[in-house]
Amino acid sequence: MRSAVLPCLILALVMFLLSCERSTKPEEENPVPEQLSLSVSPESGAWFPDDVIEVVCSEADARIYFNIGFADPDTNHVLYSGPILLSSLLWWPHSEVTINFRAFKDGFLPSETITRTYTYSLENTVAQPVISTGGNYPDAGTEITITCATPDARIYYTINGNPPYEYSALYTQPLVLNHSGPKNIQARAYKEGMNPSPLTWFYCFLTHPLQPMQLVEGGTFDNGTSNITLSSFYIDQYEVSQKDYYDVMATYFTVPIEIKANYPVYYVSWLNAIEYCNRRSILDGLQPCYSLSPGPSNPDYWPPGWSQDPNSLSAISCNWSNSGYRLPTEMEWMFAAKGGILGKGYNYSGHDSISVVAWYNSNSGYSVHPVGTRAANELGIYDLSGNLWEWCWDIFGPYPAGNQTDPHGSENGSTRVLRGGSFYSDAASCLSSSRYSYDPMYYQATSIGFRCVRKAF
């Protein structure tokens, strides 16, 4: 019996000692993440403006960030997306720049910060061009000049924010930028046997020339069914011209090769007019009235193709208290056409003789005419009879009975109101009381245009 117990005790003791040995060994530590590494070329030193800075990381899909003049870049700094032109970092009159790079990737330690200091080698280099615009907020149409102190140097420029090269546009005379909005003008100069100049750039915002508007003081009038009371508002003195329309919209789509500047714009749908109102508001520093629900008021953020999507018609909403431009309601349009509180009861907008105030089928030659070439009405507003039909905000429907204040039209329907008649219309269609409607998505009519209103404060 004893002989059987002793081996068991010895085995238990051995197992106990082994377990104690294991317990005294430190637990294996978690492996340290690998650190990213960067390679930046060229090395610090003097280089020519055309030289490029290239950065390579040990992990191809790592994100590389850089900054100028700071110690350690982080993910809030500029993301490196490809080789950097040295001249894009060195801005006149400075000829030296310190740039820092660092790489990041999930599961890895960030790389060490790599710092390079570069200077221009200005020996035998063309002088940097100088851009003159007359201020940071010149009007559209202002002449912009570019000069270079190096004799006989050729200056190339861009206005789209991309660096210019010898295949870019050659500067030969002052630039005239006719379209409002932000502009990023860049220029470089070249000369045979010399290094290209440092890059120069100028950011400016071309302001949109304010269009003349007339005040329509609030009042009450009879629309033939009921009495309508309206608050005061401003209305465009003229139908929106082609020049004004493409000035506002040209930043966002291609301008036709030929436009008739002082003619009213046509080939515009109701949705096109809505977009114009918001873009014009933004350029003039006003609060846009329209939103494409449930989204912002800036059309830059509306979905591609929204103006060809029928669902957009029900998604457009109007904030009537905002300061920006919008289409007139049908009753605002009608009140203005009748001359507002100055109205004399004329059949047409400003006169009982249609030919005095309107281009219509008997005197137009079946062609649209420049804005403001017939007589104005009592408020100094032109072409509310004839020339082009004009879009209004309202869904087309019967006038409701009963007195109303600042009505916005019918709640249901598939067409939008048109008012005023056109160069193609008969006299009856040009009456201040005449109304018509059309598909709000239709944009191919030569007889439909619009004008804007905005709230009077």
Q: pLDDT > 70: what percent of the chain? A: 88
Domains recognised in the chain with CATH numbers: 38-120 (2.60.40), 130-206 (2.60.40), 213-455 (3.90.1580.10)
The pLDDT value recorded for residue 89 is 74
CB 407 within 8 A of CB 228: yes
Average pLDDT of the residues in 178-206: 83
pLDDT in tens, 204-247: 777 777 889 999 999 999 999 999 999 999 999 999 999 899 88
Angle, helix 242-249 to helix 270-283, in steps of 10 degrees:
70
Give, for 144, the enclosing helix (H) or strand (E). Answer: strand 143-147
Q: Amino acid letter at 160? A: N
The model's confidence at residue 26, banded by pLDDT at 50, 70 and 90, is very low
CA distances from 32 to 28, 29, 35, 36 (A): 12, 9, 9, 12
Dihedrals phi, psi of 281, to nearest 5 degrees: -60, -45
Query: Residue for token digits 């700071």?
Result: 70
What does the block give as tokens for 22?
Answer: 């294991």
Query: What's the mean pLDDT when you consider all of the chain?
Result: 88
Burial (CB count within 10 angstroms: exposed 0-12, middle 13-18, buried 19+), residue 228: buried
* pLDDT-derived band at 27, boundaries 50, 70, 90: very low
| CA–centroid distance for 357 within its chain | 37
Instruction: List the end-to-end C-alpha distance of the chain, in Å, as a whole number.
Output: 112
Element (H, E) at 106: none
Query: What is the predicted pLDDT for the residue at 25?
Result: 44
Highest-confidence range of 26-40, 110-124, 146-160, 427-441, by mean pLDDT?
427-441
For 370-426, list the strands marked E by DSSP.
389-395, 404-405, 416-419
Output the pTM of the full model. 0.67
Q: In this predicted model, which residue has the larger pLDDT, 276 or 94?
A: 276
**Tens of pLDDT along 373-402?**
999 999 999 999 999 999 999 999 999 999
Q: Cα(355)–Cα(364) distance, rounded to whole angstroms?
A: 10
CA dist 348 and 369 (Å) reads 18
pLDDT band with cut points at 50, 70 and 90 for residue 198: confident
The sign of the torsion formed by the CA atoms of 168, 172, 178, 182 equals positive
Q: Contact at 8 Å (CB) between 248 and 280?
A: yes
Cα(86)–Cα(248) distance, rounded to whole angstroms? 36
Q: What three-state secondary structure class fits 11?
A: helix
SS3 state of residue 457: coil
pLDDT greater than 50 at residue 23: no
Q: Strand runs (DSSP E) across 171-288, as ranges?
A: 175-176, 181-190, 200-206, 213-216, 219-222, 227-230, 233-236
What single DSSP character describes residue 1? -
pLDDT tens digits along 45-85 = 877 767 889 999 999 999 999 988 777 899 888 899 899 88
pLDDT tens column, 308-335: 999 999 999 999 999 999 999 999 999 9
CB atoms < 10 A from the CB of 272, how many? 19
Asked whether the predicted pLDDT for residue 257 surpasses 70, the reply is: no
Q: What is the DSSP string of 362-385?
A: TTS-SS---TT-S---TTS---SS
